[in-house]
Amino acid sequence: VPTIITWSQGGNNVYVTGTFNEWWKRNIRLYFTTVLNLPPGTHKLKFVVDDEWKCSNELSTAIDPDGNLVNYLEVFEEGDSMDQNGMNAGDLLSSTPPGEYTDEIPGYLLAYAHSHSLETRGGMIGEQPPTLPLHPGKGLLNSSAVSKEDNSVLPVPNHVVLNHLYACSIRDGVMAVAATARYRKKVM
């Protein structure tokens, strides 16, 4: 599709490059306006103005996956052109006369919305809250020892309890504290 690209922000040597020519395989010399045959789709592009990468203020901008600011333009198939507001040319004219519109909401929709809101609020009052998942109840400090020889060895924790801090109630002036962390395949 023939596409006009224009640079109007000054400079002596201006080139355009982008996804349509794989960025650097070939810079296209730009005499401040050029016509390129681009396939339909979205194309990212940048301008090289006097050996500096620049974006045009007149084209839409986006950020590429590397975090660089680039211009982009959408090329549509011929006959599928859009106007400046992004509307299809065929959508601008409506088939209904202008006097048949209103901003009033029909009564049956208001009644439905009112009854639906009452059902929702009424159902929430008597319902019980959802039950907690089982993971918080299975604390590491409450579990029995895995090894009979060494009672300081605890079972391997579930992945959802990693990076948690545990504390037991104070007994005989001592409070047991534990934290879970994973380093590669080890759990500490």
| Each residue's pLDDT tens digit, 85-128 | 444 444 555 566 666 777 788 888 788 787 776 655 555 556 67
Shared domain for 81 and 138, answered yes or no, is no
Let me know if residue 112 belongs to a domain: no
Would you call 140 exposed, middle or buried from its count of C-beta atoms within 10 A (0-12, 13-18, 19+)?
A: middle
Q: Find out whether 48 and 15 touch, Cβ atoms under 8 Å.
A: yes
136-154: pLDDT as tens digits: 666 666 666 666 677 667 6
Shared domain for 12 and 83, answered yes or no, is yes
Shared domain for 152 and 73, answered yes or no, is no
Shared domain for 153 and 85, answered yes or no, is no
Residue % of the chain over a pLDDT of 70: 66
Q: Final residue of a domain: which of 32, 66, 89?
A: 89
Let me know if residue 148 belongs to a domain: yes
C-alpha angle 75/79/80, rounded to 5°?
Answer: 50
Let me know if residue 100 belongs to a domain: no
Let me know if residue 128 belongs to a domain: no
Q: How confident is the model at residue 62 (pLDDT cuts 50, 70, 90)?
A: confident
Range of the domain at 159: 133-188
Which of 152, 133, 155, 160 has the alpha carbon at shortest distance from 143?
Answer: 155
Which of 79, 97, 99, 98 has the alpha carbon at shortest distance from 89?
Answer: 79
Predicted pLDDT of residue 16: 82
- Partnered with residue 74 across adjacent β-strands are 42
Q: Final residue of a domain: which of 56, 73, 89?
A: 89
122: left (phi over 0), alpha (psi -120 to 50) or beta: alpha
Shared domain for 85 and 15, answered yes or no, is yes
What's the full length of the chain, in residues?
188
DSSP per residue over 146-186, as a string? S-SS-TT--PPPPGGGTT-EEEPPPBTTB--EEE--EETTE
Report the CATH number at residue 12: 2.60.40.10
Let me know if residue 116 belongs to a domain: no
Rounded Cα–Cα distance for residues 54 and 158 (Å) = 51
Let me know if residue 105 belongs to a domain: no
Amino acid in position 179? A
Say yes or no to pLDDT of 45 above 70. Answer: yes
Predicted pLDDT of residue 127: 67
Rounded Cα–Cα distance for residues 40 and 23 (Å) = 18
Shared domain for 12 and 78, answered yes or no, is yes
Count of domains forming the chain: 2
